[in-house]
Amino acid sequence: MKATESITLMEPMLPPDGESSLEDLAIDVATKASGLASQLPMAVRQGMGDLVRSMNCYYSNLIEGHDTHPRDIDRALSYADYSTDAQKRALQREAVAHIEVQRLIDHHEDLQVETTSVDYLLWLHREFCQRLPEELLWVQNPDTGERLRMIPGELRTERVQVGGHIPPDAEGLPRFMNRFAAAYDRKRLSKVRQIVALGAAHHRLLWIHPFFDGNGRVARLMSHASLQRCGVGSSLWSMARGLARNVKEYKALLMAADELRRGDLDGRGTLSTQTLIKFCEFFLAICIDQIDFMASLLEPSDLLRRMRFHIEEEVQTGNLHKGSFPLLREALLAGEVPRGRAGEITGYGERMARNVVSGLLKKGYLKSDTTRSPLVLSFPIDAVERWFPRLYPIT
């Protein structure tokens, strides 16, 4: 009879308390995230959230080896315009699935339980996978070559191997998942320890590998949601961008954290404490780097300068009306613009001001819930490369 695997196989679950390098990084994450959130009015932050979700999806796909072009994502998301090529169409649907689930998280419409709880992780997997096309729900058993259909929101039912790592057997998954949920329950941790725990939870979930497929996606969505629940995450920045841009180091440190303890000076758990610390340091450093990156892009004076240069070019080529930039500037700084102020801001009469507004709405630079609602800044994909250089590739 096969021996039952002990849940101590994935200990330690957290780096040692008082690890100063990690605590300093956690405090830095919290401080910088708070500063980023204060840079823009709420209405503009919501519009930026739509853009950053697409970016997050693009980079998360890239980590999985799925290079779905941002314009293909935008066509699918904005216009339900899917490629006639079956593979491209499937990847477009995968991208839309990711964005829709992250939108639920960002709008607080996700499951209102701990983000590291078993229920939440099953919810993430179900919400993502049930939006996928049928062809992306099939995986192959590397040992037997058998094709298995993944059931959204259900734990795997067979043994798997991920590179050199053999995750827990399927029958032991409930015990490992319950231990995971208990270890990262936020109620047990201080604010700083909650932030420190983010990297550890990210690794240990991938170590468990609870699903046949989609584990990386679930881990990144869990981390995104956990950052928000800790009060440091937002829809303004993306951890996935940093992980994708450092993907070799990310995967190498993930594998290193799978290693067994290296002697008496490496903690008391089965797995290495030092490699877990290194992964957590990397994870928090990535968060800081991406917050800093977005803060530099969203600094109002620099953003306005880039916007002005671009809009002036569009006016010169006849794509937009004169008076467009003052209206966009007001939308950025004030958050929203009452339609009745369009003439005052553009310096035109009522009829010409309506033409300016109409052109900006048609091109996607402004949006409005109704024909009478205030005007809010939007971010069309054609402007992204000019307004937010290096955010993600557009051409």
Residues composing the chain:
395
Residues 348, 326 contacting (CB under 8 angstroms)? no
Distance CA 61, CA 72 (A): 13
Distance CA 234, CA 210 (A): 27
Residues 239, 248 contacting (CB under 8 angstroms)? no
Residue-level pLDDT at 1: 41
Low-confidence ranges of the chain (pLDDT < 50): 1
Model pTM above 0.85: yes
Distance CA 111, CA 202 (A): 19
Enumerate residues 6+ apart whose C-beta is below 8 A from 132. 90, 93, 94, 97, 152
Residue-level pLDDT at 43: 82
Distance CA 70, CA 51 (A): 10
Distance CA 67, CA 94 (A): 11
Residues 79, 51 contacting (CB under 8 angstroms)? no
Residue-level pLDDT at 394: 64
For residue 23, give Cα distances in angstroms to 161, 268, 277, 320, 333. 34, 21, 11, 50, 35
What tens digit of pLDDT does each residue of 210-228 get?
999 999 999 999 999 999 9
Residue-level pLDDT at 169: 95
CA atoms within 13 A on the CB side of 296: 8
Residue-level pLDDT at 142: 66
- Look at residues 133, 123, 65 and name the one whose alpha carbon lies nearest to residue 96: 133
Cα dihedral across residues 113, 223, 21, 390: positive or negative: negative
All domains in the chain, ordered by first residue:
16-298 (1.10.3290.10), 300-387 (1.10.10.10)
3-state secondary structure 326-383: HHHHHHHHHCCECHHHHHHHHCCCHHHHHHHHHHHHHHCCEECCCCCCCEEECCCHHH
Enumerate residues 6+ apart whose C-beta is below 8 A from 277. 15, 16, 19, 21, 22
Helical spans, DSSP H, in the chain: 20-37, 42-63, 70-79, 86-106, 118-129, 173-183, 191-208, 215-229, 239-245, 247-256, 273-298, 300-316, 324-334, 342-346, 350-363, 381-387
Residue-level pLDDT at 217: 95
Question: Pairing state of beta strands 376-377 and 138-140?
Answer: unpaired
Q: What is the DSSP string of 110-162?
A: S-SS-TTSHHHHHHHHHHHHTTS-GGGGEEE-TTT--EEEPPTT----S---B
Distance CA 157, CA 148 (A): 10
